[in-house]
Amino acid sequence: MIDVTTPDGVADCYLARPDDDGHHPGVLFVIDAIGLRQRIKDMADRIAAQGYVVLAPNAFYRDGRAPIWPPARLEDPEARAEFFKTLQPIMAKLTPQAAVSDGGAYLAKLGELTDGKVGITGYCMGGRVGWQIAASYPDRVAALGGFHTGGMVTDGPDSPHLRAPEVKATVYWGFADNDQSMTAEQIATLNAAMDAAGISYTSEVYEGAMHGYTMSDMGAYNEAAAERHFNALFDLLSRTL
């Protein structure tokens, strides 16, 4: 665990490295809404084993150091219900502006630890946050992978998909099937925006996979879909970093 100073405070982050002492490209791991926990660390370790320096920040550091909720309590249905009630106010603090500000600090830390551009991998809300960072720092981000990401298309003037012209990274989306936070119509709208912007991208829907399919500590976990995601991510990173 390391600390990264941001304009709003200090973010506790998990840092994973390959076993050797060589130079390796960097990957920013943007977590889901459940928070920085053991599953995230395990995933970061697996990515690092492929030859990357991986930084996984506690995106909710404004509400305290990780874990913001004891993982064991999430096994209790009543505690889980209480957790989800508190989640929305916590997530609301991570505005697009805050995400971009934080992202600059995380990219700067990776810049101290690695050479060249970085990749981003994001999960659930993390894919959306990663998109905002990629759009704001196009000269630093070479690749973006977003998995079971929602909320990319809204009716608002600040809909994330409208930032497509600012994104220069190669993009991969692995959407969840039957995900009400990212419907087939919304995916089509996002794809059209990326087409118009000339983004090099792949957009796939993982049939039979639910929102959260990569997270083995949650009920939506789908092992086949999670392994497919790792294969797609490693291919993306190997082609771009």
Span 130-155, average pLDDT: 98
Residue 172: give its domain's CATH number.
3.40.50.1820
- What is the distance, to the nearest Å, from the Cα of residue 27 to the centroid of all Cα atoms in its chain? 10
Tell me what pLDDT residue 22 has: 86
Mean pLDDT of 164-180: 96
> By residue range, what is the domain housing residue 52?
2-240
Give 83's pLDDT tier (boundaries 50, 70, 90): confident
Q: Which long-range contacts (CB under 8 A, 24 or more apart) does 129-133 make?
A: 129/30, 129/59, 129/94, 129/99, 129/103, 130/28, 130/30, 131/160, 131/163, 131/167, 132/96, 132/99, 132/100, 132/103, 132/160, 132/163, 133/28, 133/30, 133/99, 133/100, 133/103, 133/106, 133/107
236 has pLDDT over 70: yes
Q: Above 80 in pLDDT, residue 67?
A: yes
Q: What is the pTM for the complete model shown?
A: 0.95
Catalytic residues: 124, 179, 211
Q: DSSP string spanning 154-197?
A: -SSTT-GGGGGGG--SEEEEEEETT-TTS-HHHHHHHHHHHHHH
Overall domain count for the chain: 1
The percentage of the chain sitting over the pLDDT mark of 90, rounded to a whole number, equals 86
Phi, psi of 238, rounded to the nearest 5 degrees: -65, -30
Decide which of 92 and 168 is more confident: 168
| pLDDT at 171 exceeding the cut of 70 | yes
pLDDT at 74 over 90: no
Average pLDDT, the chain: 94
pLDDT at 21: 83
What pLDDT is recorded for position 89? Answer: 87
pLDDT level of residue 86 (50, 70, 90 thresholds)? confident
Quick one: average pLDDT of 123-142? Answer: 98
